[in-house]
Amino acid sequence: MTTQSTKQSTTAQTAEAAGSAEGAARTVFLIAHTGRPAAVRSAELVVQGLLRNGIGARVLAQEAADLTLPPSVQTVADGEICEKAVEGCELIVVLGGDGTLLRGAEFARASGVPMLGVNLGRVGFLAEAERDDLDKVVRRVVARSYEVEERMTLDVLVLGDGDVVHRDWALNEASVEKAARERMLEVVAEVDGRPVSRFGCDGVVCATPTGSTAYAFSAGGPVVWPEVEALLLVPISAHALFAKPLVTTPDSVLAVEVQPQTQGGVLWCDGRRTAELPAGARVEVRRGAVPVRLARLHHASFTDRLVAKFALPVAGWRGAPH
């Protein structure tokens, strides 16, 4: 399979981040989960470090109200569209857990600006650093010592009576779920225009490799290395003999049809954006046209990241012979 992570050298990243206006002031867009005291303190430390090194900071007005910031920090209205809020910034630094990182991904996708995540939550697979690494994060941002890789996204369509009634996207997953707890959702799963199976279930997750360690993993799906280009279809608590996770090519089109005789369902994209699915609705998921760009500080393999994030037991390993 081909690779989906496009890594750029530090030199190339420096040229890109500098922008077309040589010598222009540098600005970093900061997003933080200000409902957490740790995030508030971390955000203030990052801003102070950036300002000391002559780099401007920009934050959302609602978050700025919860932070103690110098007057030189720029603020933007929360209602501004994502690409305008990040306009002129070279990097998005996100401080928080998985939900905050996915919120940051919305800004990153809309603007094309790379996102650097600092994990203040429990797992944080999208994060590149932990809270104890704040000084290192600031140093690397100041020196532009990071690489950028592109992560595959999903484009999601909801059709009703053959017409597109809703459009969305996802970095991790698009999940079709039952709306009523007491009733199963009856669906037909489809790949590339051909039916695979009909079953009752709690839902179906369509995920990227990036999302394979999120909802899809919890539903029993495989872990897929982010360099692999693929789409995943994972049934949730399906009442069927064949309802196994499927891994398809990145060019496949996955579809989930909510059967007419069942109650409607709900579409969730990255657990953040939702749309109602009436009975008979059809959800189509394909590779997204716009990737999300992630800034990377480390060259550690995904295997090491997986072991660290899930605290996997590896005692007794002596290494492969060379």
Is residue 240 annotated as involved in ligand binding? no
Is residue 103 annotated as involved in ligand binding? yes
Handedness of CA 105, 172, 294, 148 (dihedral sign): negative
Is residue 215 annotated as involved in ligand binding? yes
Is residue 9 annotated as involved in ligand binding? no
Is residue 172 annotated as involved in ligand binding? yes
Catalytic residue among 98, 133, 168, 270: 98
Is residue 282 annotated as involved in ligand binding? no
**Residue 135 annotated as catalytic:** no
Is residue 218 annotated as involved in ligand binding? yes
Is residue 202 annotated as involved in ligand binding? yes
Judged on CB neighbours under 10 Å (0-12, 13-18, 19+), 31 is buried
Q: 285-302 in b/e burial notation, b at 16+ Cβ within 10 A?
A: bbbbeebbbbbbbeeeeb
* Residue 281 structure tokens: 């609705």
Is residue 173 annotated as involved in ligand binding? yes
Is residue 147 annotated as involved in ligand binding? no
DSSP assigned state of 228:
B
Q: Is 197 helix (H, G, I), strand (E, B) or coil?
A: strand
What are the residues facing 273 on neighbouring strands?
269
Instruction: Give the list of residues 6+ apart from residue 170 with CB closer than 8 angstroms, or none.
Output: 153, 154, 156, 208, 211, 269, 270, 288
Is residue 99 annotated as involved in ligand binding? yes
Cα–Cα distance, 157 to 50 (Å, whole number): 40
Active centre residues (catalytic): 98
Residue ranges for the known binding site are 98-99, 103, 172-173, 183, 202, 213-218
Residue ranges for the known binding site for NAD(+) are 98-99, 103, 172-173, 183, 202, 213-218
